[in-house]
Amino acid sequence: MILTLAVLYLWILLPAGLLFRKGYRKVEGSYDFLILVPAHNEADGIARTVASLKNLTLTGEVKITVIADNCTDNTADAARATGADVIERNNPDLRGKGYALEYALKHNDLSRYNAVVIVDADTIVAPNMLEAMTRPLAAGAGAVQVSNEFLLDKKTPLEYLQQMANYAENVFYYNARTVLGLPILLRGTGMAIASDVLLKHPWDSHSVTEDVDYAVNIILDGYQIDFCLDTWVRSAATSTYEQSYSQKSRWAGGTFGLIFGKGPQVLWKGVSRFRLGLVDLAWSFVTLSRPSLIFLCLIPLVLSILASPGNGILFALWSLILIALLILYLIMGILFVQDKRASLKALLHAPFYGAWLFVVQLKALFRKNRDWVRTERKS
C-alpha cells in the first residue's frame, strides 16, 4: 500500500510541475548578495566557475568569496588570480562542505547583504540567477533553490540517463511542490538563503547532506523555501561508474539518513502542531529516491513466486505496473533534453545502470561511515 501511495503521489504532483510556474511581482530597488564557493582541490575548474559568476546580471552589490578548504593543490592561488575574495581553511579533522560554509559565514558580516548564495566550485550558472532569486526572496521566502542541471562532457550513456532523471526531478517534483505551496529541500548548489534567516539560525549542518539538514531545520521553524525553474546552475555529470560511485553512494546514504533520522521528527512536529505541510514533507522523504522505490517494488515481484497461483499473478502484475510507472516518470525527463536521439539510445543502457545503482544503494543502506568524499570528475 505504501509503495502504491508513493508512486501515485509522484504522478499527482507531475501535472502541476509540468503545466505551471509560481509567479512573483517585479522587485524594486537593489538586492545585495554574498556568493560563497566552497572548494576542495578545484584548481583546474575554479576559474571557469568564478568567470561564470562574474557574468551575472547584477541586482545590487555582489561579493564572490572562494573558500579553499583543506586544499593540497593551488586552488587558492587560482581563485585569487580571478579577482575573487579567497578564504583559506585548514582543519583536516573537520572536513567537508558544511564546515567550510560555517567558517566562511562567520568571517563575513551578513548584515551587509540581503542573502547568501552557495555555488559549488565545479559549476557554471545562468546569467539571470541572482535576478531570478531576488523575486522569491523579496516575496518573503527564507531560501531559494534554482534548477540543478548537468553539463554533458563526455556524452556517455550514463550522462544522458542522469540528465533525463534530473530534469524530471526539477520539473515534476521540485517545481510542482513550489507551485502547490508544499515545502521543498535545498540541493546543495544554486541556493540562496536570506541573511536574516542565517543570522537567526547560524549554519550548523556538517553531515554529507548538510544542505538538506539545514533546510529541514529552517522549515521546522516556519520558513518557506521556494524552487525557481527560471534559472539554473549546471555541474558536470559523472561520465563513468567509477566517477559516479562516491556521488551516488553519498546521496543514497544521505537519503536513508534523512528518512530514518529526520522523518519521524518532522512527522511528529507536523501532527503535534497541526501543520499539514510538515506531514507532507515527512511523507515526501519516502519519495525522494525514485531508484529506491523501483527496487522496493521488486519485493512484491519476488513474493509473487511464493504466493498461490492466483495471488502470485496479482502480486507480479501490481509490482510490474508500479515499476513501469516509476521508469516512465524518470524517462519523461527526455521532454526537456536537447539531444533526444542520443538520450533514447542511452535508455538501452538503463538496465545495467539500474542494476549497478541497486548495489550502490544497498551498500549505502548498511554503511555506517558516511563521511564526505569528493566526487572525481576527471576521465
User: Quick check: 199 and 111 in contact, CB under 8 A?
Assistant: yes
The pLDDT of residue 100: 95
Tell me the three cell numbers of residue 23: 509567479
pLDDT digits (tens, 9 = 90+) for 103-122: 999 999 999 999 999 999 99
For residue 206, the model assigns a pLDDT of 82
φ, ψ for residue 49 (rounded to 5)? Answer: -65, -45
Q: What is the pLDDT, as a whole number, of residue 18?
A: 96
What pLDDT digit, counting tens, does each position of 325-345 carry? 999 999 999 999 999 999 999
pLDDT at residue 374, rounded to an integer: 55
- The one-digit pLDDT tens for each residue of the chain (379 residues) are 788 999 999 999 999 999 999 999 888 889 999 999 999 999 999 999 999 999 999 889 999 999 999 999 999 999 999 999 999 999 999 988 999 999 999 999 999 999 999 999 999 999 999 999 999 999 999 999 999 999 988 889 999 999 999 999 999 999 999 999 999 999 999 999 999 999 999 998 887 778 999 999 999 999 999 999 999 999 988 888 888 888 788 777 777 778 888 889 999 999 999 999 999 999 998 888 888 888 888 888 877 777 767 777 888 888 899 999 999 999 999 999 999 999 999 999 998 988 898 888 888 777 655 555 555 555 3
- The pLDDT assigned to 242 comes to 85
Q: pLDDT of 234-263, one tens digit each? A: 998 888 888 888 878 877 777 777 888 888
The predicted structure's pLDDT at residue 379: 39
Domains in the chain (CATH in brackets) are 1-22+32-379 (3.90.550.10)
Q: What angle do CA 72, 75, 80 make, to 5 degrees?
A: 140
What is the reported pLDDT for 255? 77
